[in-house]
């Protein structure tokens, strides 16, 4: 049984949001490490491992949500335009 079927859409979205926050924290901690700022006595390897762990969790929740027809249809219908917008936005940001 899929997670979304067992705990429901709302709880799955709640957990996915929490994992997104944890991913953001992992990104920020590794960025601070690369700027030679204090990062709770963690090594680069420990910080990278945490980042990979959180990225894997996001992959898991994305796959779970895409198993639901409502989310799959939404994702498939907007993915190309959203992807192009993201690429264009980053291209503009880093062009200067």
Please check whether residue 93 lies inside any domain of the structure: no
User: 42-65: per-residue pLDDT in tens?
Assistant: 999 999 999 999 999 999 998 888
For the chain, the domain total comes to: 1
Please check whether residue 76 lies inside any domain of the structure: no
Q: What is the per-residue pLDDT for 86?
A: 74
What is the 8-class DSSP label of residue 8?
Answer: -
Q: What's the average model confidence in pLDDT over 61-70?
A: 82
Q: How many CA atoms lie within 13 A of 38 on its CB side?
A: 1
Please check whether residue 48 lies inside any domain of the structure: yes
Query: What domain range includes position 31?
Result: 3-68
Q: Percent of the chain beyond pLDDT 90?
A: 52
Q: What is the per-residue pLDDT for 75?
A: 63
Integer angstrom CA distances of residue 77 from 15, 49, 81, 82: 24, 34, 9, 10
**Quick check: 25 pLDDT over 70?**
yes
Please check whether residue 12 lies inside any domain of the structure: yes
| Overall pTM > 0.85 | no
């Amino acid at each position: 049984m899929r997670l979304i079927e067992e705990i429901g859409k709302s709880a799955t979205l709640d957990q996915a949001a929490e994992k997104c926050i944890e991913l953001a924290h992992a990104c920020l901690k590794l960025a601070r490490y690369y700027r030679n700022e204090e990062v709770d006595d963690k090594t680069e390897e420990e910080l990278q491992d945490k980042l990979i762990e959180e990225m894997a969790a996001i992959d898991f929740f994305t796959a779970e949500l895409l198993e639901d027809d409502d989310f799959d249809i939404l994702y498939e219908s907007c993915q190309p335009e959203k992807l192009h917008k993201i690429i264009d936005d980053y291209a503009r940001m880093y062009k200067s």
